[in-house]
Every structure is written in C-alpha cells, then in structure tokens.
Amino acid sequence: MRSTFLGLETARRALVAHQRALEVIGHNIANAGTPGYVRREPVLVATPGFVVETGAGFKRPGTVGTGVEMVRIKRVFDGFLESRIRQAGVTLGLWEGRDDALAQVEAVFGEPSDTGLADALGKFFAAWDELSKRPESVAARTALVEEAKTLGSYFNQAVRGLRELARDLDDGIDTRVDEINSLVREIAAQNKEIVRIAAIGNDPADLRDKRDVAIARLSRLINVSAFETRDGSVVIQVGSGELVREDRVNELQFESGTLPGEPGVSPQESRVLWSNDGRAVDVGGGEVGGMLSVRNGDLPTYYGDVERLITTLTDTVNELHRQGYGLGDPADVPPPGRDFYVYDLGSRTLNVNPALDPDAGGDVAKVAASATGEAGDGAIALAIAGLEDALTMGGEKVSFGGFYQQVIADIGTSARQAAHMVQVHEATLHQYTNNKDSISGVAIDEEMVNLMRYQRAYEAAARLTTAIDEMLDTLINGTGLVGR
C-alpha cells in the first residue's frame, strides 16, 4: 500500500513538473518575435530516492525513486557575448553619428556640382578676364557684378549652412542626452523591481530582458560599461562616473558651444555634463560621441577653411581693385581706392561694394578695371583675373580653386570613411547578434520538438496516474477478507 501511494506521488510530481515545462515552452513560442527576448529552458531534476528504515537506527537509500521536479527556469544567456554586442554598438553608434553629421556637411556644399561654389568661382574670374578685354563695356561690367554677387551668395550660403548645422547638431545631441536620461531612469526602476522579485524567490527574467534592451540602446548613444551586482541590479558607468547604481541615477545635461565664427566670443565647444556637479562627461563613443566629434572638430575646421578662403579672396581682390580706376575717374589724380568686396564680420556675409552694385544704388562704371585711367586699359581687371591661378592659399602653395577642391576632397574622404566604417561595424554587430540568437534566440522547430517531448512525458505521467488509480481500486474494492 505504501509503495502504491509513493507511486501516485511520483506521478503527481511528474504531472506538475512537465506541465510547468510546457508553460515555459509556450512562453518561448509566444515570444519568438519579441525583440530582446532570451529563451527560457526548464531545468528538471530527479527528486531524492525513498529512504527505507533497516532497523537499529540505520537507513539506506531505496531502489525506487520519488519522481521529478522543475527546480528553476534557466535564462539561456551569454554575458560575455552580450558585452561584446554592447561594445560593438558603442563603436557603430560613433560612426553612425559621424556619418549622419558629415552627410549634412556635404549637403551644405553640394559639391561636386555644375552650379556650386567651385563653378561660381571660375565664372567670377572669367568675368574679370572678359572685362580686361572690353574695359569700356557696361555690359561686361554688369555681368562681372552679377557673377561676383552669385559667388558671394554661395559663400554666404556655405557660412550660414555650417553655422546652422552646428546648431542642428547641438539640438540632435541634446535630444539624445534626453533619451539617455530616460533610459537610465528606466534601468534604475527595473533594477529596483528585479531586486524585489529576486528577494522573494521568483525569477525576474522578463524584466532582465527589457533591461538588456535598454542597455543595448544606451550603448548606441554613449560609451557605457555595465556590470551586474550580487543582488541582480546593474551598475552603468560612463568614463569614471556612474549613470546608474541600484535605483539611483545621475543624469546628464547638454551645454551648447559657440557657433563657428561667433564674433567677439571666445570659441567654446559643445559639451555633455554631469547634472550633479557640472563636470564634463568623457563621452567616448556612441552617437553622441560621433556627433560631438564633428560638431567640435570637423565643422569648425571646415568653417575656418571657408572663411579663410573668403577673407583671402576679399583682401587680394580689394588690394588690386583699390589701385585701379573706374570709367570716368580722372587719370591725373590718385586711384579712388574703392573696395570691390565687403565682408561683414558681424553678419558673416560677403557682398559687392554697394557703390558698384546697381541693385544697391551703385554704378558699375566705378568698377576699377584700368591701372592708368586711360581708355582701353584693362590691366587691373587682367591682374584680378590672374588671381585664379595665383598661389595664394595654403601657405602660398595652392590657388583659390585648388584650396576649395582640397576642402571638398577632405569632406568627401571623411564622409566616405564614416560610411565605410558604419558598414564594417554593422557587419560586426550583425555577426555578434546572430551568435546571440543561436544561443539565446527562440527556434520554433526546436521548441516544437521540446513541446512534443514534454507533452508525451505529461501524457505518460497521466497514464501512470490512471494505472495506479486502477491498482488502488482493485486493492480497496476487489480484495476480500480472509479468515472469517
């Protein structure tokens, strides 16, 4: 009788254990398409065998086991691989930030193009060359002023575009800093709940999945390191500072720097700061790091190159123009010393001298084409046209056009490098993610096999219960009394 009841308990344990195993498999199948879900695996172990009394206080293990039980649900997770994925995300985020920002820099210049600044620069010098051949022509002078205004508008567009891009990048970084703060608050709340659930003996696996997803996204934004403590919470660090510990957070804030070429203001870089003490954050990588590298490094460099091109062009053209005569200027008096271009440092705009621009009430006759004031003399116009090939830039090693082409080439090289590195690190991250999926991901075919295995085991346990029930019925109701 005793062994019969022991068998019934064994069958009951088997039913419970395999029912719970089926629930785990069902949870896996239900979350096969859930981002960040880590596969669960039921861990079944045999329960201790029945101990038989042998007399004289001795015991020995019985030969009949007592069944099975599910001792825990294993989260199939590789911490080392997860850390590699996070680091790959940091690097990919860095290059994604640079790629996006440099693509916007390229859009500001729009080169190569048949209607860009390089083309306008060539047409500007060609107009001076045409004027040198026909210095008395009002039409040639008018055409020159229009080409000069077009060139000025391209310069102004480039300067304005780079300054606006700096502000746009600041806005983009600020938005990402807000997202970082939101993520660390989410992780801190998950830490608190995970510790609470683990303390009462339950498994907070689903919360761990969500927390891992949040940390993965955080690593794409900024260079973070994460490690789990003994109570199940994670500590998130950036550089030497802590973003999250247990349920406490230290948020970040963003400080915009000065715009490139800000008049009368010392250059100041845009920075990410710790909210609690205002110290600068060692951002390292991620999208924020990539965008900051362009905002504080590449962008001011390109802006300085453009402004250097503008100021050198303005100074050299004006220096020659001041030595010349316009139509009607008396040849027996010194040259009027008029500037051709005016570069306003306050508004950062390049314009033709209003005295020469008919649209501003000026007169194209005042354009200085002559070196002597005599009719037919176009020496000044020819000298200015010759500036096209003069080595005036880069330490007097390259022409205006050559210098501008170098700037565009540098931008293009940096942009292509960023785009290439995005592809490289996307492939690396994809490889790591595939490795993780092969370990932690849900494979429907495998889960269906497990489903059938645990289903068959459950059915067998149920059949065992039926058999034992029939045995008990025979024992209780079918056995007569002997000796009466």
Give 145-156 pLDDT, tens digit per residue: 999 999 999 999
- Among the listed residues 376, 373, 375, the one whose alpha carbon sits nearest the alpha carbon of residue 329: 373
Give 270-320 pLDDT, tens digit per residue: 999 999 888 999 998 999 999 999 999 999 999 999 999 999 999 999 999
Decide if 342 is inside a domain. Answer: yes
Strands 58-61 and 51-55, how do they pair? antiparallel
Decide if 435 is inside a domain. Answer: no
Q: What percent of the chain has pLDDT over 90?
A: 64
Give 197-251 pLDDT, tens digit per residue: 988 888 898 899 999 999 999 999 999 999 989 888 999 999 888 999 998 999 9
Shared domain check, 69 and 205:
no
Mean pLDDT of 359-369: 95
pLDDT score of 79? 85
Mean pLDDT of the chain: 89
Per-residue pLDDT for 349 more than 90? yes
Name the 3-class secondary structure at 443.
Answer: coil
Shared domain check, 178 and 203:
yes
Decide if 391 is inside a domain. Answer: yes
Shared domain check, 353 and 454:
no
Euclidean distance between CA atoms 453 and 96, whole angstroms: 46
Decide if 482 is inside a domain. Answer: no
- Among the listed residues 288, 298, 300, 307, the one whose alpha carbon sits nearest the alpha carbon of residue 259: 300
Which of 407, 430, 453 is the endpoint of a domain? 430
Calculate the dihedral angle through the C-alpha atoms of 67, 71, 75, 78, rounding to the nearest 10 degrees: -90
Per-residue pLDDT for 419 more than 60? yes
Name the residue with tokens 């079918």. Answer: 478
Euclidean distance between CA atoms 408 and 145, whole angstroms: 26
- pLDDT confidence bin for 441, thresholds 50/70/90: confident
Shared domain check, 277 and 208:
yes
- Work out the number of other CB atoms within 10 angstroms of the CB of residue 198: 16
Shared domain check, 97 and 66:
no
Shared domain check, 97 and 57:
no
Phi, psi of 234 (to 5 degrees): -115, 150
- pLDDT confidence bin for 33, thresholds 50/70/90: confident
Shared domain check, 466 and 399:
no
Mean pLDDT of 407-417: 96
* Segments forming the whole domain that contains residue 27: 2-76+442-477
Calculate the dihedral angle through the C-alpha atoms of 171, 172, 175, 177, rounding to the nearest 10 degrees: -110
Report the domain count for the chain: 2
pLDDT score of 457? 87
Mean pLDDT of 413-435: 94
Mean pLDDT of 336-364: 94
Surface-to-core class of residue 77, CB atoms within 10 Å of its CB (0-12 exposed, 13-18 middle, 19+ buried): middle
Decide if 121 is inside a domain. Answer: yes
Mean pLDDT of 448-453: 92
Shared domain check, 266 and 315:
yes
Shared domain check, 128 and 68:
no
Euclidean distance between CA atoms 174 and 221, whole angstroms: 12
Decide if 436 is inside a domain. Answer: no
Shared domain check, 462 and 383:
no
Give 166-190 pLDDT, tens digit per residue: 999 999 999 999 999 999 999 999 9
- Among the listed residues 198, 197, 245, 209, the one whose alpha carbon sits nearest the alpha carbon of residue 225: 245
Half-sphere exposure of 279 (CA within 13 A, CB side): 11
Shared domain check, 230 and 160:
yes
Decide if 375 is inside a domain. Answer: yes
Euclidean distance between CA atoms 170 and 162, whole angstroms: 12
Give 368-402 pLDDT, tens digit per residue: 999 998 989 999 999 999 999 999 998 889 999 99
Candidate from 2-6, 105-109, 192-196, 266-270 with smallest mean pLDDT: 2-6
Decide if 483 is inside a domain. Answer: no
Candidate from 47-51, 256-260, 432-436, 444-448 with smallest mean pLDDT: 47-51
pLDDT score of 153? 95
Name the 3-class secondary structure at 74.
Answer: strand
Mean pLDDT of 14-23: 89
- Work out the number of other CB atoms within 10 angstroms of the CB of residue 106: 15
- Residue 455 parent element (H or E): helix 444-477
- Among the listed residues 338, 336, 339, the one whose alpha carbon sits nearest the alpha carbon of residue 313: 339
Instruction: 58-65: list long-range contacts, CB under 8 Å, 24+ apart.
Output: 64/3, 64/6, 65/10
Q: What percent of the chain has pLDDT over 70?
A: 93
Per-residue pLDDT for 484 more than 50? no
pTM for the complete prediction? 0.87
- pLDDT confidence bin for 52, thresholds 50/70/90: low
Shared domain check, 68 and 170:
no
- pLDDT confidence bin for 440, thresholds 50/70/90: confident
pLDDT score of 464? 81
pLDDT score of 480? 58
Give 66-98 pLDDT, tens digit per residue: 788 888 888 888 888 988 999 999 999 999 999
